Amino acid sequence: MNWISNVVPPKIRSFLRRETPENLWVKCPESGQLVFHKDLEANLFVVPGSGFHMRMATKDRLAATFDNGVWEDIAVPEVPLDPLKFRDEKRYTDKLKDARTKTGLQDAVKIGYGTIESVSVTVAVQDFDFIGGSLGMAAGEGIITGLTTALQRKTPFILYAASGGARMQEGMFSLMQMPRTTVAVQRLREAGLPYIVVLTNPTTGGVTASYAMLGDIHIAEPGALIGFAGPRVIEQTVREKLPEGFQRAEYLKNHGMVDMVVPRGEMKATLARICRLLMHIPAAA
């Protein structure tokens, strides 16, 4: 026990403790290889040996996207909470509270504004760690806010999509985010501003079946699972084994649904180039 643990009240003490990562070593889900956490972080959470793309927390994603890791947070308007007064094993409001504590996020979608290689952009990140990145009223409002911000500031809109689908606990309010976000996509499109979707692992359900498949350009991260129905549902329907690589990024590219599969290390440069080209901004000398 050092002097700090004697002086600092217990609540803050636990907060301090969390500063050191719990797992210094992370196991690659594909190769089983053990990677030092710091090395993984330095490599944008791509396992150095296997090239496996791990999930990336929202703040890491934004930091890796914007110049100097600096951006302006764009607030998402509040939405009614728990419209159905839903409970399963626990109350939906408790589930939300837990997700907020765990991720430090208000909901699954966060908006940032800043520059990529000096080009102004509005970026939305959907975080799978927030109740599976599910699309509820708050996430839908987040997407709409991002698109509206891009429209007002005349910037491209970049979305990092990740979602298991609808926020079941919000019922039809969740489903209605499909047309709602689509209206916002149309307004950006009609203003002649680019909308670039980066599909990350996994993106499925109502998210793929609305704004995540309506981009001008679709980029996928290597190995990302992308589809409408989840593999489990499909397997139950067709009662046969799914083909190798089914619904993976490379499969989607082969089937004409995404423009390119881009490793994370090249993502920023790719996004900057696309934005410059579509916005008629000459490359910096």
Partner 1 sequence: MRAYLDFEKPVADLEAKVEELRAMAGNGVAIGEELTRLQVKSAKALADLYANLSPWQKTQVARHPQRPHLSDYVRELIEDFTPLAGDRKFSNDDAIIGGIGTFRGRSVMVIGQEKGSDTPTRLKHNFGMARPEGYRKAVRLMEMAERFKLPVISLVDTAGAFPGIDAEERGQAEAIARSTDAALALHVPNIAVVIGEGGSGGAVAIASCNRVLMLEHSIYTVASPEASASILWRDSSRAQDAATNMKITAQDLLKFGIIDAIITEPPGGAHSDPSAAIQATAKAIESALKDLSTLSGEAVRNARAEKFLNMGRKI
Which amino acid would we find at residue 269?
A: A
| Residue 59 or 189 having the CB closest to partner 1 | 189
Phi, psi (deg, nearest 5) at residue 133 = 60, 20
Q: Pairing between strand 109-116 and 72-74?
A: antiparallel
At its nearest, how many Å lie between partner 1 and the CB of residue 174? 5
CA–CA distance, 203 with 221 (Å, rounded to integer)? 11
| Residue 11 or 239 having the CB closest to partner 1 | 239
What Rg, from alpha-carbon coordinates, does the chain have? 20
Which one of 122, 126, 149, 208 is in contact with partner 1 (CB under 8 A)? 208
| Residue 114 or 146 having the CB closest to partner 1 | 146
Q: CA 277: distance to chain centroid?
A: 24
Residue 237 in contact with partner 1, rule: CB under 8 A = yes
Residue 223 in contact with partner 1, rule: CB under 8 A = no
- What single DSSP character describes residue 182? H
- What single DSSP character describes residue 205? T
| Residue 50 or 148 having the CB closest to partner 1 | 148
Binding flags for partner 1, 79-98, as an x/- string (CB under 8 A) = xx--xx-xxx----------
At its nearest, how many Å lie between partner 1 and the CB of residue 181? 9
> Please, what sign has the CA dihedral across residues 9, 12, 16, 21?
positive
Q: How many CB atoms lie within 10 A of CB 246?
A: 13
The residues binding partner 1 (CB under 8 A) are: 79-80, 83-84, 86-88, 137, 144, 166, 168, 170-176, 178-180, 182-186, 204-206, 208-214, 226-229, 233-234, 237-238, 242-243, 246-247, 255-257
